[in-house]
Amino acid sequence: MPKLQPIPVLFLCLVIALLVLNTSQFLTSLQHLKRIDATGMPDRQIKIALMLEGPTYDQGWNSSALESLIELQKTHSFLLDIASNLDPDQIANVAKDYASSGYDLIFGHGVIFSQPFSEVAPYYPETRFVSFNGEAPHLNQTTIRYDMWPAGYLVGRLAARMSNSNKVGYIIIDKPTEYDQLSGFTKAVKETSPSAEVIVGKIQDFNDITGATAAARDMIAKGVDVIYTTGDSLNLAVITEAQRADIYAIGYIADQRYIAPDHVLASMIQDVQQCYRTVVQQFTSGDLPAGTVTYGLKEGVNRLSGFGPMVPQAVRDEIKRDLERLINQR
């Protein structure tokens, strides 16, 4: 009977090492699967796309979205790509390109993205599509809506209190989602000063600077001495016209008092960063609801900025009381 040879020590060490390595890989894979099961998200760097109708430098709606995601990158470390100045007929194809390239979350920063997203979403069930003020019929869609009636009411009260001519202006983008805020604005103006006149200038696009400028000049010629502008990049032009005419304006989206400190009464801020923070956190934890999500004054997503130096303390106190009442009753 032949004598058995002892297993070389080096070979034995190699076998043990392979067993340890395989066990380690198995445990890592198991942990990875648990994370996917718990959050719905793979354990890899998330890819987020931001789609904008206008420019990234409008000092308002579009730039606030970009700034929000850049700030969130510091804590969430996701990959980010931006497509700006998109025409309506480009949106569906750009969304398809992002989804087919493995993007996990696609933001369409406005109502114009809702319908194209609804067309594309069924073909890319692993991608979440988020738009604003539109519809979200599919399970991988979310639309963010702002509760704008209370915001309009608050600004209408301020406009009416600060008007000497009893004529206030409202520049609105002529889209269905924009009229709730005008309704709140008009109600507050009439409650504050029943004889006051609300002159409305309608334009078709959030970035129609030419149309908004013409509307502002027309209002000023009719005696308006307070203008509320509710667009994106066009707000700067309207505030500039108010400054030239030595009347007051109320800013929108961002705190725009810095544009003309002696002419901007306040700004109705849509805290886009708070909104994006909530959506990204919910998405990464697997808790982002499908369908419609509503934010407003109560959630702090809509809020009034500080006041310009021309606003009397009595008016400030009245607006603050209105704010508390609106928050408590919504």
In this structure, of 28-32, 161-165, 234-238, the range with the lowest mean pLDDT score is 28-32
Q: From the CB of residue 267, how many other CB atoms can be counted at a distance below 10 Å?
A: 29
Provide the pLDDT for residue 167. 98
Q: How do residues 84-98 score in pLDDT, each as one tens digit?
A: 999 999 999 999 999
The one-letter code for the residue type at 93 is N
| CA count, 13 A, side-chain hemisphere, 251 | 32
The one-letter code for the residue type at 300 is G
pTM for this predicted structure: 0.73
Question: In Å, how far from its chain's centre is CA 233?
Answer: 14
Burial class (CB in 10 A: 0-12, 13-18, 19+), 145: middle
Burial class (CB in 10 A: 0-12, 13-18, 19+), 76: middle
The one-letter code for the residue type at 159 is A
Q: Give the H or E element holding residue 201.
A: strand 197-203
CATH homologous superfamily of 148-269+303-329: Response regulator (3.40.50.2300)
Nearest to 219 by CA among 156, 177, 253, 172: 172
Q: How far is CA 179 from each of CA 302, 316, 325, rounded to the nearest angstrom?
A: 16, 26, 22
- CA-angle at 100, arms to 69 and 89, nearest 5°: 75
Residues near 61 by beta carbon (within 8 Å), at least 6 away in sequence:
54, 109, 110, 206, 231, 232, 233, 253, 270, 272
Q: Is CATH 3.40.50.2300 correct for 47-146+273-295?
A: yes
Compute φ and ψ for 50, nearest 5 degrees.
Answer: -120, 120
Quickly state the pLDDT bin for 29 (edges 50, 70, 90): very low
pLDDT (average), residues 135-141? 97
Counts of helices then strands in the chain (DSSP H, E): 10, 12
Give the mean pLDDT of the chain: 88
| CA count, 13 A, side-chain hemisphere, 103 | 23
Q: Listing from the earlier edge strand, what are the strands of the sheet with 105-108?
A: 79-83, 47-51, 105-108, 128-132, 141-146, 291-295
For the cut 80, the answer to whether the pLDDT of residue 110 exceeds it is yes
Q: How do residues 271-294 score in pLDDT, each as one tens digit?
A: 888 899 999 999 999 999 999 999
Residues of the chain with CATH 3.40.50.2300: 47-146+273-295, 148-269+303-329
